[in-house]
Structure 1
Amino acid sequence: MAPGHVDVRVTRDADGTIRIAAGPDLRRVEAYGDVVAVGPDFTRAVLDVAGAVLTWPVLGEPGLPWAEVHDAGRAQQWVWALYGERVAGAVHDCAAGQDDVRVTTEVTVLAGAAARLGLCHWAGRWWPTSHQDGIPALEPGLLGLELAALTHHCQQLFDDEGDQPDDCAAELIEEHRAVIGPLIQWWRATPVPTDLARHLESVLRLVDDAADNAGLDGPALRHLRSSLDGRGPAAASADPGTLFARHGGYALAAGEPLDTGGRVIARGTGTNDWRRYPPGLVDATENAVSWTARALGARRRIEVEALADPGAPVTGTPLVAEVHVNGGGPHRVPLARRDDLWTGQSDLSPDLPAAVSAPRIEVGVLLPGFDPGPHSPGEADGHAGREAVRTLVRRRLVVATRPPAYGVSPHDSYAAPFLAETAATAIEEDY
């Protein structure tokens, strides 16, 4: 096979779903049958596009995505640009009745841009912010505007049918208008022709074009247009650490301190499974969840603490701890935010009889209604995956302190740091 060429397999399921696997994913499909089942979901970037869902591994080189095509007619508008003409022909043949077609192709420009868009969505969902692990938070408005720019840059992947939640450029711009002014300041104060200046300008121009296409208007967008047209003085200086610093910090909530007392009969660390709650609630460190079981006469009580994310809401979030005693059914303990902790306690007397001297207790935190339930990968796989993700983001943050040359377009470079990553390295917080 010639250098730069990639093996691709296109198959058709009995229900008509067409699957595209390439490169490393092709080897996983042949080994496991379904690449999506390999590894925890927080190690994959996912993108919902016209007629299909695309998936990339975030650990390692992204290459061409795995695709699950449920509407081949709609997907054909982008398959040829993402995978090349041969793969588009194979999809057409499978849609017409063939079960298995193998071809070779090359990684396209759109493939690089789409992988970066998928990674940006992944960062918004799975970035493991942690004071304890030294991983700073990403400023959501800054990440949101770059996500809007990338979505517009990859607009070929979407159509007008309105069923693709990831085609959200206009909504993101509306949600994060307040960040446009600081982003302009950062750009106007960045020396040209540096790679960072080109990156900033590219994001701003794509945001402007996306807003114009969507018919958006307002003072922030008019200021953006005039700035891009060269009107107005350049900023003398603008430190992203100052422009985008988060000023929330920890605050007291309605939760009361734990009423400690009694004899400690067991204590331990719980499982911090990122999949069971939305981002921005719990510190992503592995030992964020801890618990203590106490005996108070004949009664048994469990006390749970979980490190809070600095941006977590002070009230109104029904976060709970799920407790299993000796393999029994779940017992849920409501948690309240106090300072930098989620805390809660509950009586366990029915589940933990007084005669049990060495109970086996398992504790995790979740948000009811969001929690997707049990997962197929074992906890050992989850732990290894979370540690691999921490290694990945630490490496990206190091790169963000000395960004590499992006080439023609930073949006096509998967490894290039996002603006939110670059800003995070400049924000002086206690990480």
Structure 2
Amino acid sequence: MIRLSRADGLLTIAPGETPLVTDTLAPLDAMVLEVVGGHLSWSLLDDRQLPAAVLDDPVTAQDWLWAIYGEGVAIAVADGADGEIAAESVRPDLVAALRRLAYAHWASRWWPASTVEGIPALDRHLLDAEIGQLGAMCEMVLADSEFLELAPGDDAEGLITELSSRRTTGPESISQRSRPGVESSARAEDYALAAGGKQPGDGLIVAHGSGDWDWRRCPPGILDAGADALAWTVSRSSGISTTRVTVVAAPDCPLHLPEHLRPHVRLDVDNGTEAAVTAELHLRTDSWSAEVQLPETTETFTTLSVFVPGVGPSTSYPDESVMRARIRDFARRRLTAQGGVQLLAAESAAAESDDDF
């Protein structure tokens, strides 16, 4: 069963608790496609095949509604009906291809590549090629913008800047490039130790810790998506506190990034003025780092955030660390599944190389 509802000039087709593009903030596991007449969406962590739909032009969407939801739903939409109605896809092969395409787009933006967690990056060219193939299979449903592709060798950095704040999960990640001097077979536990260990330096260490960072605040392919990729140490000498912040670089991080894509760190301090200190992180070998001097009257900071300026939503939202952990678990299960899981070509290549990652 699906539910038809209409509000503010939009028609919503909802099979259960699937995320919608009209949600105030789409969850990290939302997979979205722009289609003729509106948008389709699925949840990554839900096996449901039938998508939710938000339509701003139900008339043009009639060209494919019957194939996805069945003739009964298509007729109900045409008649302006609301409420629950049975849905039965006429083209389950098309529904499966659309979900796979949405997943490929999601993976290009949110795949949690991490040396710390042992999750290899996906090959960008394999991913783009499969997106193109799936797009051709789903042509009758897709809007023209879904056919936006990057040719092999294209520089995707400008595309990241343009699309990083969009809620659709289109091709937004950085093209993979080799990083001179970095061994692809480096052990994940070595990176975890480096991220979580104390940093040497002058003065008394007054605080230290590690954790992850907000994926919404940085484009893909820059920072490691692991749970302990971020580490910090506060040392105090001569009445001045200095914070050293280190974030492991993504496995596919380019050696050189334009200034507008370089990550920064923000330290909020409690000294009665609601002050904050911001500094740019610098890439050295396999990690991004910065040393930040705190105001004289402050021993340590209250909150720490890592971000790329201008990226991510402007509104506040709940902590998503649990969802990030679920997505990392999902990625590991995909790469280690024994049969029954139809991997993307890029996932298959990553799974084959995972033993040496």
Structure 2 residue aligned with 1:363: 304
- From the CA coordinates, give the structure whose radius of gyration is larger: 1
* Percent identical: 32
1:296 aligns with 2:242: no
TM-score, normalisation: structure 1: 0.66
Structure 1 Cα separation of the partners of residues 36 and 56 of structure 2: 9
Structure 1 residue aligned with 2:201: 260
Structure 2 residue aligned with 1:278: 219
Residue pair 2:277, 2:292 contacting (<8 A) in 1 also: no
What SS does the aligned partner of 1:102 have? strand
What SS does the aligned partner of 1:156 have? coil
1:416 aligns with 2:357: no
- Return the offset for 1:285: 0.5
Aligned length: 313
Match of 2:266 among 309, 318, 322: 322
Structure 2 counterparts to residues 51-66 of structure 1, below 5 A: 51-66=37-52
Structure 1 residue aligned with 2:165: none
What SS does the aligned partner of 2:86 have? strand
Structure 1 residue aligned with 2:10: 17
Residue pair 1:9, 1:22 contacting (<8 A) in 2 also: yes
Structure 1 Cα separation of the partners of residues 349 and 22 of structure 2: 33
- CA gap of 1:296–1:363, structure 2 versus 1, over 3 A, is same
- Return the offset for 1:323: 1.8
Residue pair 1:248, 1:310 contacting (<8 A) in 2 also: no
Structure 2 counterparts to residues 154-303 of structure 1, below 5 A: 154-159=138-143, 162=144, 164=145, 166-168=146-148, 171-172=149-150, 174-175=151-152, 247-248=178-179, 260-303=201-244
- Return the offset for 1:348: 1.5
1:75 aligns with 2:30: no
1:427 aligns with 2:353: yes
1:8 aligns with 2:2: yes
Match of 2:334 among 386, 396, 416: 396
1:140 aligns with 2:120: no
- Return the offset for 1:124: 0.8
What SS does the aligned partner of 2:310 have? coil
Q: CA RMSD in A?
A: 2.7
Structure 1 Cα separation of the partners of residues 212 and 339 of structure 2: 35
Structure 2 Cα separation of the partners of residues 396 and 428 of structure 1: 12
Task: Specify the code of the residue in structure 1 equivalent to 2:111.
Answer: W
Structure 1 Cα separation of the partners of residues 26 and 236 of structure 2: 37
- CA gap of 1:131–1:360, structure 2 versus 1, over 3 A, is same
1:43 aligns with 2:29: yes
Deviations for 1:282-316, whole angstroms, at most 9, x for unmatched residues? 11101111112222313222211001013212233
TM-score, normalisation: structure 2: 0.79
What SS does the aligned partner of 1:293 have? strand
Deviations for 1:380-409, whole angstroms, at most 9, x for unmatched residues? xx122111112211121123xx544xxxxx
- CA gap of 1:396–1:134, structure 2 versus 1, over 3 A, is same
Structure 2 residue aligned with 1:104: 86
1:384 aligns with 2:322: yes
Structure 2: gaps (5+ residues): 155-175, 183-198
Structure 2 residue aligned with 1:225: none
Residue pair 2:21, 2:54 contacting (<8 A) in 1 also: no
- CA gap of 1:281–1:38, structure 2 versus 1, over 3 A, is same
- Return the offset for 1:250: 5.1
Structure 1 Cα separation of the partners of residues 331 and 211 of structure 2: 23
- Return the offset for 1:46: 1.1
- CA gap of 1:41–1:300, structure 2 versus 1, over 3 A, is same
- Return the offset for 1:430: 4.4
